Amino acid sequence: MEIPYTVHERPDTGLWNAKVGVWLFLASEVMLFGGLFSAYIFLRIGADYWPHHALNVPLGLTNTIVLITSSITMVLAWVSVKMRDFGQFRFWMSATLGCGCLFVVIKSIEYRDKFSHYGVVFRDEAAFRKYEPELSALGANIKTNTEGHGARLDRTPHFEIAGHLASGVTADAIELAPDRHEGGAKGGAHGGALRVALADVARWGVFAPRYSTYYAIYFTLTGLHALHVLGGMVVLFYFLVTGAKMFAADPEHLANRVEVGGLFWHFVDLVWIFLFPVLYLL
């Protein structure tokens, strides 16, 4: 028994099966990420404080460029099969996979950064004021919702600093070399350190998902996206390895497969194009 329209299109719909299937699948993926994006909006509207520019924009931008490039090489790989040039297909497909790897590596570097970077949220305004002179002497970058961007009367005041552990954490205090303004977080040029009593601290820790709802949604969205990148790479790698046989048997079949895989890959790229501004810039 053979299922019709697996390779050639059905005349009245003009489509072959897998193409219908992948578009439907992508529709459900839109709803999946749509659910998470709406959660992002919902959480952000309700938040007392939402961090700005907490991520490394140059790295994020690099990754955006890497993914867009990979979408182009993906199209070229498909075109190569269509033009029946298997060598070219292999080249462009490998390039696509290379971009995928680069993306994952850069993303891992960003993740590692977050897991070694500490934040401290003060218990309340009075607690913060105690450290204010010392903090301004150090030139520390203080994140707050009481002035400027994000200031709103109906929100609980929020005072937060970030930095690297200086000597560590004791039973009752944490010693931190705070990030300073002007890109202190990225420069790594830390001045002196500061001891904050844990009694004055609402919560502290590395920027893991549990640190705040911002990092929770950041890691969930980008983690799920990274899983999609990895999944896509597995599929594309499979096409690369097994492609020769199928190319010999029925090149159009391979072209269809590459097209379907490519549609998924473009989708993953598109998700990132939304993620980048939403998480890095806004």
Site residues (vs other proteins, CB under 8 A): 1-5, 10, 13, 15-18, 20-21, 24-25, 27-29, 31-36, 38-39, 42-43, 46-48, 203, 208-213, 216-217, 219-220, 224
CB of 204 to other proteins, least distance (A): 11
Cβ(115)–Cβ(126) under 8 Å?
no
| Of 16 and 128, CB closest to other proteins | 16
- According to DSSP H, which parts of the chain are helical? 17-46, 57-82, 86-115, 125-138, 184-187, 213-249, 251-275
Closest to other proteins by CB, 31 vs 126, is 31
At residue 83, φ and ψ (nearest 5 deg) are -85, 5
The answer for 130, left when phi > 0, alpha when psi is -120 to 50, beta otherwise, is alpha
Q: Which CB, 133 or 171, lies closer to other proteins?
A: 171
Residue 235 dihedral angles phi and psi, to the nearest 5°: -65, -45
The least distance separating other proteins from the CB of residue 34, rounded to whole angstroms, comes to: 7
Helix (H, G, I), strand (E, B) or coil at 6: coil
Which CB atom, from 181 or from 210, has the smaller least distance to other proteins?
210
**Structure token pair of residue 268:** 């993953």
Closest among 134, 186, 142, 180 to 161, alpha carbons compared:
142
With respect to other proteins, which residue has the nearer C-beta, 13 or 167?
13
CB of 241 to other proteins, least distance (A): 19
> Which candidate, 185, 224, 217, places its Cα nearest to that of 45?
217
Nearer to other proteins, 43 or 72 (CB): 43
Q: How many Å apart are CA 280 and CA 267, to the nearest integer?
A: 20
Report the nearest approach of other proteins to the CB of residue 45 (Å). 9
What's the closest the beta carbon of residue 179 comes to other proteins, in angstroms? Answer: 20
Nearest approach in angstroms of CB 82 to other proteins is 22
Q: Quickly count: other Cβ atoms within 10 Å of residue 121's Cβ.
A: 20
